[in-house]
Structure 1
Amino acid sequence: MPASTASTDSTDSTDSTDDTAPVLVDREGAVATVTLNRPDSYNALSLELKKALVTALETVAEDTDVRAVVLTGAGRAFCVGQALGEHAEALEADPDHAFDTVALHYSPIVTALATMPKPVVAAVNGACVGAGFGFALACDLRVFAAGATLGTAFSGIGLTCDSGLAATLPRAVGEARARELVLLARNFTPEEATGWGIAGEVVPPEEVATAAARIAAQLAAGPTVAYAESKRLLALGMDRPLVDVLGEEAVGQARCGRTRDHAGAVTAFLNREKPTFNGS
């Protein structure tokens, strides 16, 4: 795959070696920043970029030296969704398989973001539409550039939801608002989105990268196993009976309780000290 991926050595900072790759992965300490890198097309999702993003996310998910991830876009946009020129060519060439990319690429990308055993912060530096918006909602936390254009966009081109939006959007804003945003396909701002319940910090555009890095650094210094269990339990708790959730919480607590992070934090509390977490 053409993705440029971060080294897993012990250096404090690593950089992607090819700044023309469709996806860049840079390491700063325990934080990996994954950047969609087609700025001239507003990071529209070409086949090359989608394949590279699947590989990049799988790589940082498996890298135990990475304890938090930032997802962002190069240039003035986060991601404007599918590259429609390429999609039109796929429709003309083989309409029966033009949408295979949903199962092959979009769904694995969202699954990787949502289930990654470490926190993911979306640094939404500009326009965030369609599948790009789905990616942002699949992340755990978001930082939005004030005034950026957000939208679902699908019905505007005769399509329906993908990239998890049928689940994540109504959970964030409620079913009625989600129907409005999907069916009318109108654009909206981060200021509107946060007012509706899409959690995120809204900052001036020039401060997005810094704010996201600050949050990611805080998370990277936290109890990584506990974060992973919390992600799992919060996702499970959305649609499972209470009795099932209680059982899974017991399993999760026991798993966290066996970590050095928990033992060290209890000792620190008893000694009136600030705990230090090493992620294990």
Structure 2
Amino acid sequence: MAEAASPILFERRGAVGWLTLDRPARRNAIDAATHLALREALTAVEADRAMRALVITGAGGAFCSGQDLAERRDMVAEGEVDLQASLVENYSPLIRRLIALPMPVIAAVGGVAAGAGVGLVLAADIVLAGASARFQLPFVKVGLGPDCGLSWTLARQVGLNRALALLLTGDAFDADEAFAWGLVSRVCPDEALAAEAEALAARLATGPRAAIAAIKRRVREAADQTLDEALAAEAIMQGGLGLDPDYREAVTAFTSKREPRFR
């Protein structure tokens, strides 16, 4: 019997990891096999000290259409569906691990990103969208509420009012709207999306590792802090980074009028 094709493609190109959802016939919908493959890929990312940036994208003209409802249909028919267990065991750890990565995570979105696919997008640090990108949060259309951290990430990105409107209607929106609302960092032609993501990831991969990890952590934590708490945390952060060899290298490079060479 032929071995089933992997639902994702994962490789490292230099210092940049590329994670491509690869179920184009299902618009890269997530099923049990995809969850397993994602767990294995993230374990590899976390263990690879040579990897300094990660790009997440989709194959076949789609990013990710969310949970594979064909899989859910069979479970519902058999009376075996347990959505809480699915989230606790699969989606919630996935989002936590992506957000916790110390390296920059770039989502390169072409075509549809729906439901859990948008959850993946908002777990990234920078989102690039092709002109064809279409986003949707259709949970209400199937009698559900948001998951994959979207009740937390979406309002922080677009504000409470717009988050509620998007979740209560389930209406789709395009790349330009996503950019205007702050969900997307940049919109580019579809044919340029991969090259844009590659160039940005390569640039970020040369940055100071400790500072990048600290920036990611500090900005996310500050959203739930008072100004005084944020100021105190910044002082602690800078105190640590000031002792890092990359800071000394940057100061030396500046005074020597050359580009820094970070570790």
Map of 1:255 onto structure 2 = 240
User: Which shows bigger deviation, 252-261 or 144-153?
Assistant: 252-261
**Unpaired segments of 5 or more residues in structure 1?**
1-17
Query: Match of 1:203?
Result: 188
* Equivalent residue number for residue 104 of structure 2: 119
Per-residue CA deviations over 1:231-257 (Å, capped at 9, x if unaligned) read 110111001223332232222222222
Please name the residue that 2:71 is paired with. Answer: 86
* Paired residues of 1:146 and 1:205 also in contact (CA < 8 A): yes
Residues 175, 184 of structure 2: 8 Å contact kept: no
Aligned to 1:241: 226
Matches within 5 A, 1:51-200: 51-95=36-80, 97-200=82-185
CA distance in 1, matches of 2:184, 2:242: 29
> In the superposition, relative to structure 1, how do residues 129 and 96 fare at CA in structure 2: closer, same or farther (>3 Å)?
closer
Q: Distance in 1 between matches of 2:55 and 2:166?
A: 26
- Map of 2:214 onto structure 1: 229
Letter in 1 for 2:206: A
Unaligned runs of 5+ in 2: none
Check if 1:24 corresponds to 2:9. yes
Contact (CA 8 Å) 1:72, 1:123: kept in 2 or not?
Answer: yes
Q: 3-state DSSP class of the match of 2:103?
A: coil
The 8 Å contact of residues 126 and 148 in structure 1, kept in 2 or not, is answered as yes
Residue type at the aligned position of 1:76: G
Q: How many Å apart are 1:25 and its aligned residue?
A: 1.1
Q: Which residue of 1 aligns with 2:199?
A: 214
| Separation of aligned partners in 2, 1:24 and 1:194 | 28
Per-residue deviation, 1:75 = 1.0
Question: Offset of 1:24 from its aligned partner?
Answer: 1.6
Q: Is the 8 A contact 1:134 1:165 kept in 2?
A: yes
CA distance in 2 between counterparts of 1:67 and 1:19 reads 30
In 1, distance between residues paired with 2:71 and 2:244? 48
When residues 44 and 273 of structure 1 are mapped into structure 2, their CA distance, relative to the original with a 3 A threshold, is same
> Under a length normalisation based on structure 2, what TM-score does the superposition of the two structures give?
0.94
Deviations 1:69-110 (A, max 9, x none): 000111111000000010122233344624411111111111
Matched residue type, 2:53: A
Letter in 2 for 1:176: N
**Which residue of the partner structure matches residue 48 of structure 1?**
33
Paired AA for residue 197 in structure 1: G
Q: Write the distance in 1 (CA, Å) between the matches of 2:17 and 2:233.
A: 29
Q: Distance in 2 between matches of 1:216 and 1:94?
A: 44
State the AA in 2 paired with 1:67.
Answer: R
